[in-house]
Amino acid sequence: MLRCRLQKLRCSRRLIRAGALILILLFAFPVVLRLVPFPELTEFMAQEYSCRIYDRRGELIQVTALKGGGRREFTPLKEIPKDLQKAFLKQEDRRFYFHHGVDWFSLLRAASQNHQSKRIVRGGSTISMQLAKTINKDTSLNFRRKFSDIFTAYRIEAKLSKKKILELYLNSIYFGANSYGVTSGARSFFGCELSQLNKGQLQVLSIIPRNPSFYNPVAFPEHFKIYSKEIEQAAHTAHFYKYPFKLPHFINYVTSDFKKNNQKLPYKLTTSINLEISQMAEDFLREALEEARPSRITNGAFLLLDNSDGSVLTWLGNGDFFDSENSGQIDGVLVKNQPGSSMKPFLYALAIENNIFQPGTVLADVPTEFGNEKLYIPENFNNRFNGPVRTRIALASSLNVPAVSTLNKLGVKAYLEKLYELGFESLRENDAGLKADLGLALGAGEVSLKELVPAFSVFVRDGTYLPLNYNNQLTNGHQLYTADTSRIITSILSDKGARALGFGYTQTFQTDYPSIFKTGTSNQYQNIIALGATQHFTIGVWMGNFSGNTVIGKTGSSLPAWIAKNILDKIENSTTPFPEPEHWHKERICSLSGQKACPNCRAVVTEYVKDGTELPDCSWHTSLSDSKEISTVYPPEYQQWLRSRPDKGLIEYALSPLTFITPKQDSLFFYSSLNKNQQAIPFEVTGGSESTLDIYYDEKKIATIDRPFNFSLPVNRGDHSCRVQCGNEELILNFSVK
């Protein structure tokens, strides 16, 4: 009896231990599954999703495609309609919230029905098991895969909450038509957001994943007859949606920018783009390209910024993205080209900032040699020299010699430092800016439209530079010019009269609102650029070709300028004038000399003069002896230019020291074996206090000449010197011939 009781006690203890062990295992199993690493799930949760990219008003620009071309948009569970969640749970997993990954009742019932039918009529898989199947990437139909799905489903349930599992499932399930997830499914078949679907359409959406080919509502709406009338009617409203493919160059830039910064694209990105303006700009650009096609101008780009925060309103990289014949997929906003004269405002602003000159200062637009071994002789675009021109006219009319002379005074390195601050990083690459040397004044270094437009906007932002941005993020600006300097430049670039010398009184730049414009062309007119700005917007337009073909004819910059003006006409409505500089005042000056106007001056203009500046009285207009006739007396540097003028003036040599105009000190010349007897080196000297000049070649006196001091020396290989003497003044110039 006792033995029997002991045996029962031992048996009970064993049962208790076994039960305890089972309970421990039941409780420990999920804990272990939770703690064990699950790299497949981690990888799945980090899978690529499409990005919905919108303009500033919420209009869809693009839904980025996956690597295979499909779309998989992510939507948080809280934003997925409750009716859609319920519909999926009803269709796929009624007891989702009551099991731990496997619904054994449903699984056994499916197995029984499949056995009776001798074919698969039910799956019995839970949502967690379907997710497991996707994670396992196993499409086979056998028991081994089923058990793998079951085990993986338990692991998923141990790692994630029910809400997270449902969220992953609804954002990953395949709908056919290369669409994954309920959001892409809604867009692909109904062309709208989830929130815009009616109840019938939500039901259709929940049915499609059961068999995407069979339940394709566009191809087979009749297959939904077995459901309610509401669902059948909803199926007939389905249509294949064509995803928008707007602003492809801009989208490529945005996606590459995220990659460059090692960031993943968000599921939704609202940009600063204005699609309405972009469409207008695209129409104008295509019209201009069509007109310019006979001239071999086949490409164009357009960039428009909001001055308040530097945000991009429009970014057009080319006229036609799909024009493979003309490299349509290349982004002209990012391509580096020679900007020509469009860079000159930055140079003149720095010179004004450094007190090198003022807008009324006269600059010499005369034939001039720069450099020594590498001689640089700039010419104007019309091959004409204009003699003395005020700074205002030199910049507004885009004259080349005054610009190069200004850079020569400033120094290339000082100018480059300012350009770097203005965001021209392209000029750092391979020392491109330094290699351009004095040609930098005329836009010899290659830069992009993406660099040019934000830099140009500083002049209507009182000298503050804001880097370009596309997501409405306001960044801290950098004050690169004083407000007064910027306002002076704005005054010059908006001066239609000052522009007349170079461009005439063209209607291209005539606007009903305050505006500034600057254009530029490169060699052979392969690149033509127009920059424009108002108080609210800054615009840049480039036209040319990527093929390198020479442009036929001289197209000038009228076409890009036409585009810029037409867009600004559509979007700018402010008539408030640009602000005046605060520490400058206006004075009447002689239009020729730039000095203080006097009764003898033939033409007088009003110009800004910096406070504290004492202008000298005009010394260029004077009456000689007792005659009442007014004569114009020019400084010596204008003697060569004056010889080509029909209205001869006088040269006041005594006002300047003895100077070689040409050649430059340490110049290098090359001897040619052809035409040996016809070679000579021309010299021109100005200034001096006497009327005669003694000339010494290699310290041997060879001649005495009268004014003008022009002469030539023979060409002989070797190092040579030329010494000239005028009264008590003398100069020595060294040169070489190879």
Beta-carbon contacts of residue 577 (< 8 Å; ≥ 6 apart): 514
Fold of the domain spanning 43-235: Penicillin binding protein transpeptidase fold (1.10.3810)
Q: How far is CA 266 from CA 49, 75, 171, 350, in A?
A: 8, 11, 15, 42
Nearest Cα residue to 441 out of 414, 468, 466, 479: 414
Our CA angle for 573, 577, 583, nearest 5°, is 155
pLDDT at 738: 80
pLDDT at 295: 86
Mean pLDDT (the chain, rounded): 87
Take residue 128 and report the two structure tokens written for it: 């967690």
- pTM (predicted TM-score): 0.84
The domain segmentation of the chain, as residue ranges, is 2-36, 43-235, 301-571, 584-630, 652-737
For 459-494, how does the pLDDT look when each residue is reduced to its tens digit (9 = 90+)? Answer: 999 999 999 999 877 778 999 999 999 999 999 999
For 388-442, how does the pLDDT look when each residue is reduced to its tens digit (9 = 90+)? Answer: 999 999 999 999 999 999 999 999 999 999 999 999 999 998 787 778 888 899 9
User: Which string of DSSP letters, residue by residue, matches 478-546?
Assistant: EE-S-HHHHHHHHHHHT-HHHHHHHH-S-STT--SS--EEEEEE-GGGSEEEEEEE-SSEEEEEEEE-S
Take residue 282 and report the two structure tokens written for it: 């695209």
Neighbouring CB atoms inside 10 A of 249's CB total: 20
The amino acid sitting at 308 is S
The CATH class of 301-571 is alpha beta
For 157-178, how does the pLDDT look when each residue is reduced to its tens digit (9 = 90+)? Answer: 999 999 999 999 999 999 999 9
Specify whether the backbone of 110 is left (phi greater than 0), alpha (psi in -120 to 50) or beta: alpha
Which residue would you say has higher pLDDT here, 175 or 551? 175
Residue 617 has φ and ψ, to the nearest 5°, of -65, 150
Q: Over the Cα atoms of the chain, what is R_g?
A: 39
Q: How far is CA 325 from CA 168, 330, 419, 447, in A?
A: 43, 11, 35, 25
Alpha helices of 143-247 — where are they, by DSSP H?
143-159, 162-170, 182-190, 199-207, 229-235
Q: Are 315 and 247 in contact (CB under 8 A)?
A: yes
Domain 652-737: homologous superfamily in CATH:
Immunoglobulins (2.60.40.10)
pLDDT at 251: 98
**398-432 b/e (C-beta count within 10 Å ≥ 16 → b):** bbbbbbbbbbeebebeebbebbeebbbebbeeeeb
pLDDT at 668: 82
Take residue 409 and report the two structure tokens written for it: 């005074």
How many angstroms separate the CA atoms of 54 and 61, rounded?
A: 5
Beta-carbon contacts of residue 394 (< 8 Å; ≥ 6 apart): 348, 363, 365, 402, 403
Please report how many Cα atoms fall inside a 13 Å half-sphere around the Cα of residue 371, on the Cβ side.
Answer: 14
How many angstroms separate the CA atoms of 132 and 153, rounded?
A: 5
